[in-house]
Structure 1
Amino acid sequence: MKSFLFGCIVFICAASPLAAQNISILPVPAKTVRTKGSFVIKQSMRIVAPDTALAKLLAASVRELTGIDLKTAATGPGSIYFLQGADSLGNEGYRLEILPGRINIISHQPAGWFYGIQSLLQLLPAERGIPCMEITDRPRFAWRGLMLDVSRHFFSKAVILSYIDQMAKYKLNTFHLHLTDNQGWRIEIKSMPKLTSVGAWRVPRTGYWKGMPAPAPGEAATDGGFYSQDDIREMVQYAAKRFVTIVPEIDVPGHSLALIASYPELSCTKQPQQVLAGDPWNTSRANVLCAGNDSIYAALDKIFTEVAALFPGEYIHVGGDEVQRIYWNKCPHCKRRINSERLKSAEALQTYFIGRVAKIVESKGKKVMGWYENLDSSMVPGMAQMSWKNTKGGALASQAGHKVVMTPAFFTYLDFYQNDPSLENGPFTVCRLSSCYAFDPLADGALETNVLGGQGSLWTEQVPNERKLQYMTWPRALALAEVLWSPRDSLNWPRFTGRMEAQFPRFDRAGVKYATAYLEPLVNAVIMPDSTYCIRLAAEVEGLDIHYSFDDTSPDNFYPRYTGAPVAIPKGAHHIRVISYRQGRPAGRELNLDLAELTKKAARK
């Protein structure tokens, strides 16, 4: 997790009632024209496609959604056709023509066929037929991603494959896999076997990440895991069939305790270390590689040789941020390196280190990417930058000629909690669904030609299992999928929430957990002119009635309804309970909040 604190700012958008539309495709296509009639899928129909794998994928999905078993063929008569064309829509664009007697999916490349399939499947099941229409669609950005941290908590290969499958359904095409950090090394490197025999394991711990108990003397490290090289190949192949590129990250020179625990001689102190079980911000842990030791670069050459052979995508991510340079300032090897290279400081040594690592990666035929760092020394030439603190750093990098991926924390960090922190154990601050939908990779004057796109990033300090993984991803990733695919002038918050809710039955069928925090009230204390405190309530979407109580009883729709004016806190009250209703039924969870904590927050503002 990137180590900083935000102010707890709540982003509020107005919205309209969330009635599902007849056409609820997400991301919203660039252009949709309704025409007369409907197309009814029947058992006797055939899919005619030159791409056998895609035809079978469509047939399997139709069977799952409708029970109808469509046949497939490479040529001949049929009812659903994959056609070559639509060159002007690029490699991922498509045209979907739904006519009363046939469906045409037209694209320049197979990726376009795949995305046309995803749009078609969102119109099913349709008992009365799929409404006829013509859709012309292409993505706004080439990089439409999700990042998953598998170091802080390890997730099995099956979980990864399911995650890829879900993201591909919404035209997300880049899966950034954070494979290494202080808490675990997750990829087999055959030339350095201790990385998985030692670095992949830590002592078992459960609970809140911060202040996790240290390992007891002699305690066995049994929690963890790693992906074998065969696992990686299977994941890469599975993703490729869904037009998802996996981008591996090997995070150096900081965030390297799992590497150092495996090979202590690679650190400045050369002292034995243990893989960390909890909070990484303990400066007694030497989690930084020794930039002055040439053996470091030899080890990294081995690692990146094997990584590059496993991942066919063009980028390898090397981390590069949050380096605790205090070790370098004390290390005789690093001091000598600073002098011999005529560097001004340990900060410049960080740029030197990343520059050498970049050359190693480039020597394997790959492009290098790292987290944007606001260093006084110049950025490594040709290195793509991933901007996480905000979009300003990415904008500066883009203007300086660097390719950029935007993942600003306030808009895209999916580990942040989604409503009040009393309900969730997410760290730092809030990232609401509406905040994700407000994300624009071209903010702050970024040079459009150098912005590859953006991604949501899910750090997993507080994500211990698959259900929490799903809950933190969806539906916020749906908002990001739309802003990264759809034209900016097509974005509409009320319509998006309707399309989003139309996806929930698909998640239910797939057994995927999702959050409904956007339906829950926003509760804040405010200081009035007479210095007393009142409570102000709000909703992220319209169409909600908010009911509340101060007497420690659970409110329902017979309790007082919030009308918009601040509500005075009764004497003696110590909690407020709040719940929202929509169309006479409870929506979201009941909030039970400590009034003392709310008033403290108001006083600090």
Structure 2
Amino acid sequence: MLTRLLFIAAFSLRLLVASGQSTDRYTIIPRPVQLEPRAGEFLVSQHTMVMVPFAQADLKAIAESFVNQIKLSSGMSLSLRTLDKTPVSGANAGANLIQFLPLRDTTMGDEGYHLTVTPQLITIEAAEPKGFFYAVQTLYQLLPPSVLGKEHGAGSMGSLVGPASRSALPALLVPACRIQDKPRYVYRGMNLDVSRHFFSVAFIKKYLDLMALHKFNNFHWHLTDDQGWRIEIKKYPKLTQIGSRRRETLVGHYDDFDPQVFDGKPYNDFYTQDEIREVIRYAATKYINVIPEIELPGHALAALASYPELACTTGPYQVATKWGVFDDVFCPTEKTFTFLQDVLTEVIELFPSKYIHIGGDECPKTVWHRSAFCQQLMKRLKLKNENQLQSYIITRIDKFVTSKGRRIIGWDEILQGGLSPNATVMSWRGINGGIQAAKLHHDVIMTPGQFCYLNFYQGDFSQEPVAFGGSLPIDKVYSYDPTPAGLLPTEAKYILGAQGNVWTEYIATPDQAEYMIWPRAAAMAEVVWTPLAQKDYNDFARRLPTHFERLSHLNVNYARTFYDAQFSAKPTSEGHVEVTLAPNILSPDIRYTLDGSIPSGESARYEKPILLTRSATVRTATFQNGKPLSQLAKLEKDYLVSKATGKSYTLLNAPTSGRPDSNYNLTDGTTGGIGGYEISGVVAFRNDLNAVIDLGKLEPVESVRIGFLKYTAKNICLPKQVEISVSEDGKVFKPALTARTNAAESGKRAIVRLPFDFTTTHARYIRIIARNVGKVPVGLRYPGKAAQLGIDEIEVR
């Protein structure tokens, strides 16, 4: 009787796990269309057999890859055989079997699949090899994260079951379920810019591995730009002899230094055609199409440095050493068209892709407008403006590429002057280009910067490594819907899908690239695969921690900003600062320090707002069971507490609107920040700062400290003079200090806190006048331009 009760209790517990707590067993990204949890697990062990249909070479290769990965990560050698008998059903399965079977459900398409897991049998069904491949990616994510490791015994064995000794190999559990799955969009892309910074073939292969795990199917390889030509073209060897080499590279962000600083180090690398073929072959094994991008007619400096006769002027030209958009573009002569067609001929011979990306973006028309040849050509072709001249160039290239049996993709600027007949539009400047193209019945790939540019900041920009600019946290990526509202069904069908873009101006190393890409690309994977009705950010967040384990086993340097606590602060009526920390839903245990030291599991635990009675550096980290989740070397904020904190003030000169943002909080205790092109917490003035602070009562005062923004690349300079005066009644002020400052100071942009000390006096009101220098001084980036003041926190001590 006791044995029977124990059996019933154990069985009931398994049912409970399979029902009420079942979601924790399934952490697949992207989320499948349908997943039915079931009780039990399939045990993958050294006795497991993998069977594929007879004479199916593609399926056998997929199965062999799975078997090899299991052996690599666990040491188990699974048996692989061809299926030469009636498929095994769950009812009569006596063996521990994984079988691949053809799917007769025509609604699943060539990328869809069925996956059924029972305690005895795993059945994978698909109509085409792509479907089988994606089913195996799902199977990997049903297995413990360690199964994706590269070395048996190197990773954590905590999620493996079975003996841990060398003599007994471990076993792997797959939770029982029934999955039916297919993608929402046919185009699921990731981009990588290798022109600004080059990435090795080994890194590209790893990137393709990660794309495949997330069911992306298009790799957009940005191979040429102003800063480097990265693909060997046999007919034009100077493209790599000269065009792949830049003499040096900008240091820091574009606006960091005035004047700009360069590293003085030559930068040179490119892919040979054999390396290109190697990447394409490897991608094919992952069912990923590789789309090359050859930029034209703009972003052409590397090509013009190699062959200056392709320009409208004689030059000389050099490969760009900094970022941006340059006026020097291809001149639409017959020699240029011959060059471009020759280049594209070699590219088409290398790449089997249906699509060839030709850029078409950010092409200034200045040179064309000044060129007698271009103006004569426009007159002969009866073109109204330079936009139509660009359309003429794109249309000629479109016809050439089409004659080779391929199709072009261009950025949404190719809509200007008229859209070429066979072009697919990649919409990056928001969604309007995509909407316009879809209404014209042209295929569209959506990649608007505000949702899809993974070179933007993903956390607090003042705390993150240097990035391009803009804010794109992972939840914003996840929120994106590539099909714009308002399109008719007959128009929406032209939205092929979406793509995450990785522009590498500020991404110089593989580690930094992975940090910027993952896990945001996992969110993008769900955007393009999972039906809109099935998307749920909270559920995605639940699956992320296990996915992070997978990425760790794959040796990926993913970002953990997902776990970062969010700061907010406000001054109190007593003149203190109250700091509030908002946890991530999955990491409620926040630890903090007030001295700038790195928090540990023993540091103070955040339970209620922190009241600061003096200036402090608040540093935070999140933990789970004592284990750090967020990046410990990050996330700190400086707060300033002084007699001015929380006190009212009057601005006698109105601040300006726009960038930097004007939030008027000069005495709230919080400090501003700089990152990319973004500035926070700073008030800008076109005139002088003229502020009167009311301390509320007579106080002994002897010092004023003011944070000034020095951002001379945006014409924001230090003041030329600061005047401090004090008053008991707010009517009669007496001077306390007048100090000259160096408005012409160059160097790195920063918030500079300047002290102004004077003889101790009693006052209730403090008047601060900071004199704008008026015009940007000589020696800075834009001398003679109207200068601004940028003011951060004001302290009175």
The answer to whether the superposition gives a TM-score over 0.5 is: yes
Change (3 A) 1:204 1:81: same
Change (3 A) 1:570 1:257: farther
* Unaligned runs of at least 5 residues, structure 2: 1-20, 86-94, 145-159, 162-171, 639-669, 685-797
Determine if the alignment matches structure 1 residue 150 to structure 2 residue 191: no
Partner of 2:126: 107
Partner of 2:719: none
Change (3 A) 1:568 1:147: same
**Counterparts of residues 282-293 of structure 1 (less than 5 Å):** 283=326, 286-291=327-332, 293=333
Alpha-carbon distance between aligned partners in 2 of 1:579 and 1:100, rounded to the nearest angstrom: 41
Amino acid at match of 2:329: V
Determine if the alignment matches structure 1 residue 124 to structure 2 residue 143: yes
Superposed CA deviations along residues 324-354 of structure 1, whole A, max 9, x for unmatched, are 1111111111111221111111122122221
SS at match of 1:497: helix
User: Percent of counterpart pairs with the same letter?
Assistant: 35
Deviation at 1:592, TM superposition (A): 2.2
Are the counterparts in 2 of residues 355 and 380 from structure 1 also a CA contact under 8 Å? yes
SS at match of 1:577: strand
Are the counterparts in 1 of residues 592 and 603 from structure 2 also a CA contact under 8 Å? no
SS at match of 2:44: coil
Determine if the alignment matches structure 1 residue 95 to structure 2 residue 170: no
Partner of 1:601: 680
Partner of 1:6: none
Superposed CA deviations along residues 486-522 of structure 1, whole A, max 9, x for unmatched, are 1111111122122222122222222111110111123
SS at match of 1:34: strand
Deviation at 1:144, TM superposition (A): 0.8
Deviation at 1:35, TM superposition (A): 2.7
Deviation at 1:580, TM superposition (A): 3.6
Are the counterparts in 1 of residues 304 and 330 from structure 2 also a CA contact under 8 Å? yes
Amino acid at match of 2:343: I
Alpha-carbon distance between aligned partners in 2 of 1:538 and 1:350, rounded to the nearest angstrom: 50
Determine if the alignment matches structure 1 residue 561 to structure 2 residue 606: yes
Change (3 A) 1:52 1:299: same
Superposed CA deviations along residues 96-131 of structure 1, whole A, max 9, x for unmatched, are 111222211100100000011111111224536322
Change (3 A) 1:539 1:316: farther
Deviation at 1:289, TM superposition (A): 0.8
* Unaligned runs of at least 5 residues, structure 1: 1-17
Alpha-carbon distance between aligned partners in 2 of 1:161 and 1:80, rounded to the nearest angstrom: 28
Determine if the alignment matches structure 1 residue 64 to structure 2 residue 72: yes
Deviation at 1:271, TM superposition (A): 1.1
Alpha-carbon distance between aligned partners in 1 of 2:439 and 2:396, rounded to the nearest angstrom: 24
2:205 aligned to 161, 169, 184, which one? Answer: 161
Change (3 A) 1:568 1:201: same
Deviation at 1:43, TM superposition (A): 1.6
Change (3 A) 1:325 1:119: same
Are the counterparts in 1 of residues 187 and 498 from structure 2 also a CA contact under 8 Å? yes
Alpha-carbon distance between aligned partners in 1 of 2:584 and 2:550, rounded to the nearest angstrom: 23
Alpha-carbon distance between aligned partners in 2 of 1:568 and 1:351, rounded to the nearest angstrom: 61
Change (3 A) 1:234 1:533: same
Amino acid at match of 2:480: F
Change (3 A) 1:166 1:349: same
2:635 aligned to 569, 591, 601, which one? Answer: 591
Alpha-carbon distance between aligned partners in 2 of 1:326 and 1:543, rounded to the nearest angstrom: 53
Deviation at 1:530, TM superposition (A): 13
Partner of 1:224: 268
Alpha-carbon distance between aligned partners in 2 of 1:305 and 1:472, rounded to the nearest angstrom: 34
Change (3 A) 1:404 1:528: farther
Alpha-carbon distance between aligned partners in 2 of 1:268 and 1:530, rounded to the nearest angstrom: 68
SS at match of 1:40: strand
**Counterparts of residues 460-471 of structure 1 (less than 5 Å):** 460-471=504-515
Deviating more after overlay: 506-515 vs 542-551: 542-551
Partner of 2:556: 512
Partner of 2:391: 351
Amino acid at match of 1:509: H
Amino acid at match of 2:49: R
Q: TM-score, normalised by structure 2?
A: 0.68
Change (3 A) 1:140 1:516: same
1:299 aligned to 339, 345, 349, which one? Answer: 339
**Counterparts of residues 334-483 of structure 1 (less than 5 Å):** 334-373=374-413, 377-421=417-461, 422-446=463-487, 447-483=491-527
Deviating more after overlay: 476-485 vs 518-527: 518-527
2:537 aligned to 468, 490, 493, which one? Answer: 493
2:102 aligned to 76, 80, 84, which one? Answer: 84
Amino acid at match of 1:460: T
Deviating more after overlay: 509-518 vs 578-587: 578-587
Partner of 1:503: 547
Alpha-carbon distance between aligned partners in 1 of 2:75 and 2:199, rounded to the nearest angstrom: 32
Partner of 1:12: none
Amino acid at match of 1:267: A
Partner of 2:45: 42
Alpha-carbon distance between aligned partners in 2 of 1:98 and 1:135, rounded to the nearest angstrom: 9
**Counterparts of residues 510-589 of structure 1 (less than 5 Å):** 510-523=554-567, 537-539=581-583, 541=585, 543-546=587-590, 552=596, 559=604, 561=606, 563=608, 573=615, 575-583=617-625, 585-589=627-631
Q: TM-score, normalised by structure 1?
A: 0.88
Superposed CA deviations along residues 365-393 of structure 1, whole A, max 9, x for unmatched, are 11111111285522222211111121232
Name whichever structure is richer in helix by fraction.
1
Partner of 2:31: 28
Are the counterparts in 1 of residues 358 and 408 from structure 2 also a CA contact under 8 Å? yes
Partner of 2:292: 248
Amino acid at match of 2:142: L
Alpha-carbon distance between aligned partners in 2 of 1:438 and 1:170, rounded to the nearest angstrom: 17
Amino acid at match of 1:298: T
Partner of 2:228: 184
Alpha-carbon distance between aligned partners in 2 of 1:19 and 1:577, rounded to the nearest angstrom: 37
Alpha-carbon distance between aligned partners in 2 of 1:131 and 1:313, rounded to the nearest angstrom: 38
Are the counterparts in 2 of residues 412 and 457 from structure 1 also a CA contact under 8 Å? yes
What is the alpha-carbon root mean square deviation over aligned residues?
2.8
Change (3 A) 1:107 1:562: same
Partner of 1:277: 321
Alpha-carbon distance between aligned partners in 2 of 1:152 and 1:239, rounded to the nearest angstrom: 23
Alpha-carbon distance between aligned partners in 1 of 2:22 and 2:106, rounded to the nearest angstrom: 36
Deviating more after overlay: 201-210 vs 551-560: 551-560
SS at match of 2:189: strand
Change (3 A) 1:19 1:526: farther
Structure with the bigger RCO (C-alpha within 8 Å, sep 6+) is: 1
Alpha-carbon distance between aligned partners in 2 of 1:562 and 1:394, rounded to the nearest angstrom: 47
Partner of 2:214: 170
Amino acid at match of 2:66: L
SS at match of 1:458: coil
Are the counterparts in 1 of residues 369 and 386 from structure 2 also a CA contact under 8 Å? yes
SS at match of 2:46: coil
Q: Which of the two has higher C-alpha Rg?
A: 2
Superposed CA deviations along residues 2-49 of structure 1, whole A, max 9, x for unmatched, are xxxxxxxxxxxxxxxx99811111111111112343221232332221
Deviation at 1:287, TM superposition (A): 3.1
Change (3 A) 1:527 1:370: farther
Are the counterparts in 1 of residues 368 and 375 from structure 2 also a CA contact under 8 Å? yes
Change (3 A) 1:375 1:40: closer
Amino acid at match of 2:424: A
Deviating more after overlay: 69-78 vs 306-315: 69-78
SS at match of 2:342: helix
